[in-house]
Structure 1
């Protein structure tokens, strides 16, 4: 059973991940790690939030604009999600090679911001 502090912290982390992903403009991308550094969490937290979106959130949130390190579509993603992400990024003008790496990444990278000093479990 999760402790109250942990579930409150996760709810706050989840809300912030969703807020930050919603701010990524079309034609741009960022990484799980960039969001994590900004939020002062680990990249796995960001990936977990995005992997557990509701169907409604997935339909409206530009989750496809978040990729793995080195500007690569995550090789850990289910194949159908990976293909969907590839198609959506290409539709926004990004070029992706056969290994899933975004080409000319520097010109398409969205900087989330500097690391914030946040303690997610505190009120």
Structure 2
């Protein structure tokens, strides 16, 4: 039987999903920017994003979250990377052949300042 997820993980997951939902069309942010705002590690954000349900993937603008260097993650499944590239381009962003967003400063979305959150508290 799999180990149940912690309450802290459930709270982190819900906050990642909420923050990604706030990224406006034509803008992007990074796993790290979300992580800094939440006071967690970028890998926590990436873990949540990599395990979205089909319903969440359909409703959430997951394509607006990229690597720290404004690049579509080179570790992403090729089919998903192609879809992400297509969606970002449809929102007016230019992506080069290596997957980097061009004029990134013009499209970067600031999630917010670091919050002092202790996720394990009830």
CA-based RMSD: 1.1
CA distance in 1, matches of 2:45, 2:79: 20
Q: Give the structure with the higher percent helix.
A: 1
Match of 1:17 in 2: 16
Q: Is residue 105 from structure 1 mapped to residue 104 from structure 2 by the alignment?
A: yes
CA distance in 2, matches of 1:14, 1:80: 24
Q: Is residue 81 from structure 1 mapped to residue 83 from structure 2 by the alignment?
A: no
CA distance in 1, matches of 2:80, 2:46: 13
Match of 1:58 in 2: 57
Q: Which runs of 4 or more aligned residues in structure 1 lie more than 6 Å from their structure 2 counterparts after TM superposition?
A: none
SS at match of 1:70: coil
1:7 Cα deviation from its structure 2 partner: 1.1
- TM-score normalised to structure 2 length: 0.96
Structure 1 unmatched runs, 5+: none
- TM-score normalised to structure 1 length: 0.95
CA distance in 2, matches of 1:9, 1:84: 31
Q: Is residue 116 from structure 1 mapped to residue 115 from structure 2 by the alignment?
A: yes
SS at match of 1:69: coil
**Deviation digits for residues 40-92 of structure 1 (CA, Å, limit 9, x no counterpart):** 00001101111111101000100000000110000111111111100000000
